[in-house]
Amino acid sequence: MGVRGGIAGVAAALLLTLGPGAAAAPAQRWDIRASGPPLPVTRCNVAQPTTAPAVPTDRRPACPGAAAGLRAAPDDADPDCEPVNRLFGGEIRRIPTEEPLVALTFNAAWNEDGLAVVLAELRRQHAPATFFLTGEFADGHPAAVRAIAAEHGVANHSYDHPELADLTPDDLRAQVLDTDRAIRRAAGAVPLPFYRFPFSDTTPDAIAEVNALGYADIEFTQDTKGYLGLDGGMTVDKAVQRAVDALRPGMILQMHLGTGADPGPNLDAQALPRIVEAIHARGYRITDLRALLDEPASGCSGA
């Protein structure tokens, strides 16, 4: 079965896992490679928020990408059935599939060390990845964001990587929306409707706030911990081993661009060729997380 077929199964599994609204309705098809706009809250498979999110007017249309000719016109789309809604209601730490599929993700919050190596290696291996960017990174590294967005999905990782415990609900919404705008400015493209919490620190209420802004919470199965650097006791070998040890159907692997306090080599960039080769050698395929938004197994109830 091909990747697309596999993802159709994933979508079905997701629906079983997350979606109570399984009544058949016309499925909306979304060209996930063309756009991935955050959307206002909808009624499909997600509880209504108690307060209206502060969605900017430029995010109001059900299909913002339509203006650029990227998506179906709003009249043709049912905003209650956007595929991302199937991903709402909890954190996603793996793709619920039994097929040998895994997804690669990178976070970027510091500098762009390693980016050129990572992009070249992904290109060489024909491997897709999703990059979760902070708003600060987008504002500070617009050329890097454009380079990433030209080949891969870009998603939201908060504005300045705060501790969740320090945020009010208003603060959290501002973190999400300010980053949404920063990525649009930098990339000239709409970010994917995927949010990853800093430190992978989530609560049900915080996830509901993010969902209300149109973002699914995409966390990870395993982190290579290459970001800890040599000073943090990590090596390329250890980063590769952590990825290999966690290899299983649906694994979402988290790596990082840049380095934190340690100005040493970017271990994840160095480990990436061996990680990709190990994934392929074990019969796994690397899938694009954007495929989670494609080909819904069935529509939403709209109830």
Task: State in angstroms the smallest separation of the CB of 265 from Zn ion.
Answer: 19
The least CB distance from residue 135 to Zn ion, in Å, is 12
Give the contacts of 199 (CB within 8 A, at least 6 positions apart).
163, 164
**CA 216 – CA 90 distance, rounded (Å):** 8
Give the tokens for residue 136: 């600060």
Closest to Zn ion by CB, 133 vs 279, is 133
- In degrees and rounded to multiples of 5, residue 53 shows phi and psi of -70, 150
Q: Name residues contacting Zn ion, limited to 166-205 (CB under 5 A).
A: 198
- CA–CA dist 122, 103 (Å, integer): 12
| Segment 99 to 128, residues that bind Zn ion, using CB under 5 A | 107
- The rounded distance, in Å, linking the Cα atoms of 252 and 186 is 26
State how far the Cα of 155 lies from the Cα of 31, in Å rounded to an integer: 16
C-beta of 90: minimal distance to Zn ion in Å? 20
**CB-based closest residue to Zn ion:** 107
Q: Which of 290, 292, 286, 293 is nearest to 103 (CA)?
A: 286
CB 264 within 8 A of CB 231: yes
Q: Give me the phi and psi of 279, to 5 degrees please.
A: -60, -50
Strand partners, 286: 102
Q: 43, 85 in Cβ contact below 8 A?
A: no
Rounded to the nearest whole angstrom, what is the least distance from the CB of residue 194 to Zn ion in the complex? 13
267-296 mask for Zn ion (x: CB under 5 A)? ------------------------------
Q: Least distance in Å: CB of 249 to Zn ion?
A: 25
CB atoms within 10 A of CB 298: 18
Q: How far is the CB of 72 from Zn ion (least distance, A)?
A: 34
Nearer to Zn ion, 107 or 298 (CB): 107
Q: Compare residues 101 and 255 and give the one whose CB is closer to Zn ion.
A: 255
Residue closer to Zn ion (CB basis): 61 or 198: 198
In this complex, which beta carbon is closest to Zn ion, that of residue 162 or of residue 169? 162
Question: In terms of CB distance, is 107 or 156 closer to Zn ion?
Answer: 107
Tokens of 263: 């100005």
Alpha-helical (H) ranges within 27-168 are 115-124, 135-140, 142-149
Which residue's CB is nearer to Zn ion, number 209 or number 219? 219
For the bound state, the minimum distance from the C-beta of residue 227 to Zn ion, rounded and expressed in Å, comes to 8
Q: How many C-beta neighbours within 10 Å does residue 16 have?
A: 11
State both tokens at 158.
């908060």
Does 254 contact Zn ion by CB under 5 A? no
CA 1 to chain CA mean position, Å: 24
In the complex, least distance from residue 53 CB atom to Zn ion, rounded to whole angstroms? 23
| Tokens coding 132 | 């979760």
Applying CB under 5 A, what is the total number of residues that bind Zn ion? 2
Looking at beta carbons only, is 107 or 221 nearer to Zn ion?
107
Where along the sequence are the contacts to Zn ion (CB under 5 A)? 107, 198
